[in-house]
Amino acid sequence: MAPVIGVTATLKEDIDQIADRPLGRFVRADLDYVEGVAHAGGVPVVLPPVGERRAAEAVIGGLDGLLLSGGSDLDPSYYGEKPLPELNVTLPERDAFEMALLGEALRRGIPIFGICRGLQVLNVALGGTLYQDLPSQLGRDILLHRQETPKWQATHEVEIHEGSWVGGITSSTCVKVNSYHHQGIKDLADGLRVSARSSDGVIEAIESHDFSERWLVGVQWHAEAMRDAGAEHRNLFEAHVQAAERHALRRAAA
């Protein structure tokens, strides 16, 4: 049986371009995440961010893995901070649903792969904190982490730590990545370790200490958009789906 991977989604207002009037609010997940899971052998299920705890508890039982997608800024109250002027739009329904979902997924040991916002949400759910805005808070020469070029183009490099799980998955010590974030990890959560940084010191990938206990990986770049650019990006999806498969087998045997 192929493992079922929940893919978090966002809510998006849509406008009728011709009539220039609102069409309504829609559940939206970038096809790159969905296809990334499917091409790696998983069965993607898009999870609308509604219903909070009730929905999280109901859907989690059917999931073998969880993919936390990118998106808007997380409300800083989740890590005990007040919003800075540079904070962007937040989406309360999505924050609440994903935090509830993550709580359940962590409790059940479901393999979790976080991308961009997903890495940040994972860190906060485990007790870490974020920079609300890298350029204004780091106050030194940092790289351009918010590129304007297309998503499949790499704009900076990340150095993968030797001996890390992410290093093993990507078979790389240096990966060229795209960059679409203005937030980043400030204090790393206890249950996580850094697996990659960019040359300015920004944390670009995280992982759990011991994959035999719990499988957690987060990357700050949009790996889903770079699957054609190199095997190292596809490998992340494949490793996640394989971990979900092992989790499903263990669960069936228990």
List residues binding Mn ion (CB under 5 A): 145, 179
- 29's CB contacts (< 8 A; 6+ apart) are 7, 8, 9, 10, 46, 69
CA separation (Å) from 179 to 10, 106, 145, 249?
20, 27, 5, 35
Least separation, in Å, of the C-beta of 202 and Mn ion?
6
Cα(193)–Cα(159) distance, rounded to whole angstroms?
14
Q: Which of 181, 222, 233, 247 is catalytic?
A: 222
Nearer to Mn ion, 8 or 179 (CB): 179
Nearer to Mn ion, 145 or 214 (CB): 145
Q: How far is the CB of 3 from Mn ion (least distance, A)?
A: 29
Q: Which is nearer to Mn ion, 179 or 242 (CB)?
A: 179
Contacts of 252 (CB under 8 A, 6+ apart): none
To the nearest whole angstrom, how small is the minimum distance from the Cβ of residue 18 to Mn ion? 37
Could you confirm whether 116 is annotated as catalytic? yes
Rank residues 145 and 240 by Cβ distance to Mn ion and give the closer one. Answer: 145
222 classed as catalytic: yes
Residue type, 54: R
Which of 98, 104, 116, 245 is catalytic? The answer is 116
Q: Which of 39, 31, 36, 221 is nearest to 120 (CA)?
A: 221
Instruction: Please identify, using beta-carbon distances, which residue of 94 and 145 lies nearer to Mn ion.
Output: 145
* List 224, 232, 233, 240, catalytic entry: 224
Percentages helix, strand, coil for the chain (3-state, rounded to 5) are 35, 25, 40
Q: 205: helix, coil or strand?
A: strand
| Residue 224 annotated as catalytic | yes
Residues 6 or more apart whose CB falls under 8 angstroms from that of 107 comprise none
> Which residue is at the shortest CB distance from Mn ion?
179
State the minimum distance, in angstroms, from the CB of residue 22 to Mn ion.
Answer: 33
Q: Least CB distance from residue 146 to Mn ion, whole Å? A: 8
Residues acting as catalytic residues:
116, 222, 224
